[in-house]
Structure 1
Amino acid sequence: MDRRNIQVGDYMAVTSKLPNLVSSTTAIYNNTNCSEIMKTRNPKVEIFLITLLTCVFIFGTIFNSLAVWVFCFKMKKWTETRVFMMNLLFSDCCLLFTLPFRIYTTQHPWPLGDSWCNALLSVYFMNTYVSIAVITLISMDRYVAIKFPIKARTLRSPRKAALACGIIWLVYITIRLYLGLDTDRRLSKSCFRKETEKPLNRALYFTVFGTCLPMVILIFCSTQIILTLKKKMSVNKKKKIKKSISIVKTNLAIFLFCFLPFSTGNIVRFVIESIGSDCSLIKFINDIFYAAQGLSDINCCLDSICYYFVAKEFWENISLIPKLKIQLIKGQMPESSL
């Protein structure tokens, strides 16, 4: 009887552990299956990104080359506008440098190893958030100049603008050095792609403080600038002020078009991954995010609108344009405070 009781007890102990063994085996299988799903590529997204990034690279190279020639070799006086635009220009050039690698890796395995991948990722994402920060500084500078014209004489200067940009670069470089190598990508054969379903906390932090907060500041400053300009509208300056308001609205629309889908996609992806959704849904959100990330790169070309329409000094130093055309453009330019 004792031996039979022992055998029955052993059988019950083994059978009680079977559900745990089965569930753990199923979990391992599901994780493996999910990893394979995350590594699969969407041909439609690949074609979209290759086409988009190629156009951005070509037109971005042309526009930014012209901007480098004007800001570095034609302009002599340092102004707040020139300081901001030089930093924005350098940031855009960094993004252009990464585009050929991104175009290649959309359809091919990454051939240059982890060190190069992490370096390029650092350059790319640092460029994205530095561009957002500099654009926000430009909006704040215009807000101070329009809203507080008397105090602006002491608050605004090229040296202070350079100091603000230097702090931004220092902060982002320090953050990237602190984060170090991205261990989630070391064993990956891809670059510029996330092949794990695990949420990244740093992505949420960068999105909130690097995109959403500047977006709120930019919307506030742009709204206040528009309201202030409308109050100052008179018969003599009506046409010029309307032009200035249109430029402010255009710059805000460009920023939202480029970075709102990018930030929204990042937040949605983090939430979906955090609640442990189905792997196919995570993969679908990932594909949408990659497309939105490509749209954010268009900002590299659309920054030219800042070069051409916000910086009045830009037009005054382009000798390739006939004098008559320069005078016409200058007549349409906003006041120097913009």
Structure 2
Amino acid sequence: MNASGPSNPTGTALDEGSMVSTSVACVILSLSFLVGAPGNLLVIWTILKHIKLRSHTVVLILHLAVADLLVLVTLPLWIYSLASSWIFGNATCKALSYIINVCMYSSVFLITIMSIERYVAICYPLKMLGWKGLGMLYKCLGVMWFVSFLLGIPALLIHYVDVTDDGTLQCTFEMYTSVNQELFCLCLESSVGFVIPFSILAISYCQVATQLKQPHSTTKQKSIVLISSVVVAFALLWLPHHILNVIDVITLSTENSKQDFRDHFVLIAGALVFISSSVNPVLYAFAAQNFQGGLRRSGFVKLFLDIASNSLKAKENSKVQHIITHTEV
């Protein structure tokens, strides 16, 4: 997605408003790195070290943490670029833009798969009999990563380094060959990366919310609340970026010039996107408090173990229900 590199993408001189937005963006990115990088590392380490019997949800959380971490480790370079200039070369600019785009697509796809898996497990538990092992999930993940790698290719083509009006080098300039190409890229990004996935999420969670009105275990409800929080946070943090995309599509379609106010908000919207990669460990930590009463490693272990065991119990219950149904027939 074209959220990569929250630098000055228009090449306009930095006026007072741009300087303020740049400073705010640097603060947001710094906090995202300081919180998100060690947080996602802790999630990955906890699952790999302590969770031997992994459920579908835990595997998806692991892949999501990896995708988020790959995005966050690029932040020191972007922060330096915002504060000074881009000194890392054109190849690095394209490579990092590609990595960020791939991981951003994979994140929204992983959250969508996670929500669909919870929807099927709760609303159609017998269907989970076909997902007894992790083989089908790994095939889905393979396809998901492959599609993400393909969707990230435009970042290699349109991002490059150039000199801004204030004389500094910056990455993430978007060089389109035509207006139609720009419209296509913007519509593809917002439809595949936001509108379609979150339409699926909205339908899934409406059904899940209805089903949860019936008696369920407290643990299962905690698991649903956790995943729902991840979805809501992702939607809210990505919304400003896609609103700007819609504004760009409208201005391009009507052949109007882009509004100056957009330049002041694009840095903030881009920085908020990076928060989405750092917020998940915080949500896991708060969920872990329900088990251990503190933001400790043992709370993380208990949280993921509980999610894994809950998913496995749900599958066993589905199997028993399936056997009972066929016996009665």
Does the Cα contact within 8 Å between 1:244 and 1:334 map onto a contact in 2?
no
Can you give the 5+ residue segments of structure 2 that lack an aligned partner in the other structure?
1-7, 164-168, 316-329
Determine the C-alpha separation between the residues in 1 that align with 2:205 and 2:190. 21
SS at match of 1:39: coil
Does the Cα contact within 8 Å between 2:161 and 2:172 map onto a contact in 1?
no
Report Cα offsets for 1:40-92 as digits up to 9, x if no partner: 23111101110000000000122112112211222212321232122111101
Answer yes or no: is 1:163 the counterpart of 2:139: yes
TM-score normalised by L of structure 2: 0.75
Distance 1:310-1:130 versus aligned 2 partners, 3 A rule:
farther
Measured after TM superposition, the shift of residue 213 of structure 1 is 0.6
SS at match of 2:83: coil
SS at match of 2:87: coil
Structure with greater contact order relative to length (CA < 8 Å, sep ≥ 6): 2
Answer yes or no: is 1:257 the counterpart of 2:232: no
Answer yes or no: is 1:176 the counterpart of 2:152: yes
SS at match of 1:191: strand
Measured after TM superposition, the shift of residue 224 of structure 1 is 0.9
Give the length in aligned residue pairs: 290
Does the Cα contact within 8 Å between 1:309 and 1:333 map onto a contact in 2?
no
Measured after TM superposition, the shift of residue 335 of structure 1 is 4.8
Can you give the 5+ residue segments of structure 1 that lack an aligned partner in the other structure?
1-34
Which residue of structure 2 aligns with residue 190 of structure 1?
Answer: 170
Distance 1:123-1:86 versus aligned 2 partners, 3 A rule:
same
Determine the C-alpha separation between the residues in 2 that align with 1:195 and 1:105. 19
Which residue of structure 2 aligns with residue 10 of structure 1?
Answer: none
Answer yes or no: is 1:86 the counterpart of 2:62: yes
Which residue of structure 1 aligns with residue 20 of structure 2?
Answer: 44
Answer yes or no: is 1:289 the counterpart of 2:266: yes
SS at match of 2:66: helix
- Structure 1 residues 1-338: aligned runs within 5 Å: 38-41=11-14, 42-155=18-131, 157-177=133-153, 179=154, 181-183=156-158, 185=160, 187-188=162-163, 189-194=169-174, 200=182, 201-230=184-213, 232-233=214-215, 243=222, 246-247=225-226, 249-279=228-258, 281=259, 283-304=260-281, 307-308=284-285, 320-321=297-298, 335-336=310-311, 337=314
Distance 1:165-1:319 versus aligned 2 partners, 3 A rule:
same
Distance 1:146-1:164 versus aligned 2 partners, 3 A rule:
same
Determine the C-alpha separation between the residues in 1 that align with 2:93 and 2:210. 46
- Larger Rg belongs to: 1
Determine the C-alpha separation between the residues in 2 that align with 1:195 and 1:174. 19
Does the Cα contact within 8 Å between 1:269 and 1:286 map onto a contact in 2?
no
TM-score normalised by L of structure 1: 0.74
SS at match of 1:151: helix
SS at match of 1:185: strand
Measured after TM superposition, the shift of residue 319 of structure 1 is 8.7
